[in-house]
């Protein structure tokens, strides 16, 4: 099935872009327009590697495809450098929401780490306020162009620093003003969620939802700590949960699999997996299974009944969109409209929203896919 130049694929006569979608794992500093980086850099006299937006988009894609995690991570130095002022944060957040709306996303959660945006004098609180202003401006702009979208903040702490309790307090402080959840990000290997037990205890005591990056750069031990120490309600990627599955035999359409206790828990308790197909390939998260989309354990997890959701992780680095990620999966695994709808319904059910708001979201999706 052909995917057009915008990453869209025709699915049973429908454009994937036109279908209502939910985006749960989408980094703010990973989704900045190249043209905006160039303009914001100019305003603060910062050198950029390319001064033409298309060339800069290529630069991001090349670094991210290089197979070197170090090269990949340097791209974030550039995006975060232009997001150190109120103006920069607000603009990036506004455009982030507009870009999601243009891609057919009706509900999104944007994650970012306020502690990484204080280099030019903003306080944590001012940084969160700047992003919230941008989100609301983006929602209004989308509405004016006839698109309804709602976006919540996932306030993120860095796992290699020691500010997680302070960031958890910040998140809870913003809970009725735009923050919907908490996350930890950054180097997973060597920095278990248990290291941030104080923060997670605080969040649990305040009944504040957490998702935790786990099962991407590290394996089962990290996922176990995310669930036990982090009380994670969702797993950021979580793709390496497949390491706890033993495929005993596989013939025709029948796959016989032995579950480890951890995989059984994640599947049976319906703990959503925030899978990000292109990113998982680029970061080597799925290298145990192979190097192409067809090798991704996404389909195995889906067929076994895990709550799989489809995400972008970093749109600028992977030069992608939610539409494109779904198109790549449809292409690799011959998914139907019903499958793509199931992924959206999983994501809607996993959203950090009140139950009546999730039901509303589920209705919007069901209507959109039925029409
Ligand atoms: Zn991520």
Q: What is the DSSP letter of 17?
A: G
Phi, psi of 107 (to 5 degrees): -145, 135
pLDDT class of 223 with cuts at 50, 70, 90:
very high
DSSP result, 178-204: TEEEEEEES--TT--GGGGHHHHHHHH
pLDDT class of 258 with cuts at 50, 70, 90:
very high
State pLDDT tens for residues 156-193.
Answer: 999 999 999 999 999 999 999 999 999 999 988 899 99
Residue 2 is predicted with a pLDDT of 66
State pLDDT tens for residues 100-140.
Answer: 999 999 999 999 999 999 999 999 999 999 999 999 999 99
Q: What is the DSSP letter of 51?
A: S
Token readout for 146 is 């006839």
Calpha distance 308→32 (Å, rounded): 26
Query: Active site residue: 95, 109, 216, 341, which one?
Result: 216
The residue that leads in pLDDT, 69 or 313, is 313
Residue 252 is predicted with a pLDDT of 75
State pLDDT tens for residues 305-339.
Answer: 999 999 999 999 999 999 999 999 999 999 999 99
Is 357 annotated as catalytic? no
Give Cβ neighbours of residue 123 (< 8 Å, ≥ 6 apart): none
Residue 14 is predicted with a pLDDT of 84
Residue 1 is predicted with a pLDDT of 58
Q: Taking ligand 1, which is a single-atom ion, which protein residues have CB atoms under 5 Å away?
A: 313
Pick from 60, 73, 25, 66: which is nearest to 239 by CA? 25
State pLDDT tens for residues 18-47.
Answer: 999 999 999 999 999 999 999 999 999 999
Measured over the CA atoms of residue 237, residue 243, residue 246 and residue 250, the dihedral's sign is positive
Ligand 1 midpoint to CA 256 (Å): 31
Calpha distance 96→118 (Å, rounded): 20
Ligand 1 midpoint to CA 344 (Å): 19
State pLDDT tens for residues 276-294.
Answer: 999 999 998 999 999 999 9
- Distance (Å) of CA 289 to CA 80, 223, 281, 292: 32, 18, 10, 9
Calpha distance 329→210 (Å, rounded): 27
Least confident range from 106-120, 131-145, 220-234, 246-260: namely: 246-260
């Amino acid at each position: 099935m052909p995917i057009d130049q915008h990453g869209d694929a025709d699915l049973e006569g429908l454009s994937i872009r036109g279908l209502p979608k939910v985006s749960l794992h989408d980094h703010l500093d990973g989704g900045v327009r190249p043209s905006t980086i160039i303009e914001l850099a100019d305003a603060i006299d910062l050198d950029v590697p390319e001064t033409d937006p298309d060339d800069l988009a290529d630069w991001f894609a090349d670094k991210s495809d290089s197979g070197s995690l170090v090269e990949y991570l340097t791209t974030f130095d550039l995006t975060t450098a232009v997001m150190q002022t109120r103006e920069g944060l607000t603009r990036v957040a506004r455009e982030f929401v507009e870009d999601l709306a243009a891609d057919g996303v009706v509900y999104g959660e944007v994650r970012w780490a306020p502690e990484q945006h204080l280099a030019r004098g903003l306080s944590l609180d001012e940084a969160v306020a700047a992003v919230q202003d941008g989100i609301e401006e983006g929602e209004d702009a989308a509405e004016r162009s006839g698109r309804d979208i709602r976006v919540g903040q996932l306030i993120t702490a860095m796992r290699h620093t020691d500010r997680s309790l302070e960031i958890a307090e910040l998140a809870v402080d913003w809970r009725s003003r735009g923050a919907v959840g908490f996350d930890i990000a950054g180097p997973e290997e060597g920095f278990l969620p248990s290291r941030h037990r104080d923060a997670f205890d605080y969040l649990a005591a305040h009944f504040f939802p957490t998702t935790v990056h786990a099962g991407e750069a590290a394996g089962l031990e990290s996922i176990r700590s995310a669930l036990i120490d982090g009380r994670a309600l969702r797993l950021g990627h979580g793709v390496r949960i497949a390491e706890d599955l033993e495929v005993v035999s596989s013939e025709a359409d029948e796959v016989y699999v032995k579950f480890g206790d951890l995989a059984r828990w994640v599947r049976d308790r319906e703990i959503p997996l925030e899978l990000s197909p292109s990113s998982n390939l680029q970061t080597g998260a799925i290298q145990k299974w192979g190097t192409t989309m067809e090798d991704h354990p996404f389909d195995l997890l889906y067929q076994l009944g895990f709550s799989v959701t489809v995400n972008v992780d970093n749109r600028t680095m992977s030069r992608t969109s939610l539409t494109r990620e779904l198109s790549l999966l449809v292409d690799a695994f011959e998914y139907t409209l019903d499958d793509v709808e199931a992924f959206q319904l999983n994501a809607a059910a996993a959203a950090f929203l009140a139950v009546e708001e999730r039901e509303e979201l589920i209705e919007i999706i069901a209507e959109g896919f039925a029409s």
